[in-house]
């Protein structure tokens, strides 16, 4: 915000108009904005926008554009689940950091039971592609393959079972998210901020 004010002040000073304008800060819809009232009575509001990513589909052929739109539509559906999963994982990691192995296992088992009630039905209704996108979002943020996440939380037998189940549908949970493996998936995931913020 300060950078923009400085740019504006330098620009206005260079035009010799700074002395005649009134500059102050106002709160508009919960956002602090800089308000400039010019000598002529015009009002200019300035605010800093959040960072965002814009993906161009111009360099894609028709099939790639269709697939991009499909992935993006699916990503919009699973995005809230990815945010919840990452948040829960980070909180569990923090909460169980100092627990003994036995207490950790007990805590995770109880949490799994509670989460199953809340998320089982919506997640069961996802398509395979939606599930894949959800999985890739989580792997990308945590920089860990799904196999390792399941192994850390539920143990070796669960991770083995889910990896075998995934292989039936053509997924290898051990491979994780690899940038460049699927350029269209990469483009879609760039459009979503899935980072965990405390």
Structural domain boundaries of the chain?
Answer: 2-46, 62-190
140 near 177, Cβ under 8 Å? yes
The tokens for 23 are: 């500059």
The tokens for 96 are: 């169980």
197 near 186, Cβ under 8 Å? no
In tens, the pLDDT along 17-29 reads: 445 567 778 777 7
In tens, the pLDDT along 29-86 reads: 777 778 788 777 777 777 776 665 555 566 778 888 899 999 999 999 999 999 888 8
SS3 140: helix
pTM, entire model: 0.68
**pLDDT recorded at residue 18:** 46
């Amino acid at each position: 915000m300060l950078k923009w004010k400085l740019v504006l002040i330098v620009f206005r000073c260079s035009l010799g108009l700074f002395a005649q304008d009134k500059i102050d800060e106002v709160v508009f819809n919960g956002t602090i904005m800089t308000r400039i009232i010019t000598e002529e009575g015009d009002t200019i509001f300035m605010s800093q926008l959040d960072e965002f990513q814009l993906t161009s589909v111009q360099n894609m052929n028709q099939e790639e554009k269709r697939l991009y739109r499909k992935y993006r539509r699916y990503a919009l559906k699973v995005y809230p689940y990815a945010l919840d999963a990452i948040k829960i994982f980070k909180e569990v990691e923090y909460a169980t950091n100092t627990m003994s192995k036995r207490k950790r296992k007990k805590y995770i088992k109880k949490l799994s039971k509670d989460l199953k009630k809340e998320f089982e039905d919506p997640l069961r209704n996802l398509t395979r592609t939606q599930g894949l996108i959800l999985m890739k979002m989580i792997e990308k943020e945590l920089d860990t393959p799904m196999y390792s996440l399941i192994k850390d939380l539920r143990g070796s037998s669960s991770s083995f079972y889910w990896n075998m189940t995934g292989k039936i549908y053509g997924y290898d949970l051990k491979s994780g998210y690899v940038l460049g493996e699927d350029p269209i998936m990469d483009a879609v995931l760039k459009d979503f901020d899935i980072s965990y913020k405390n």
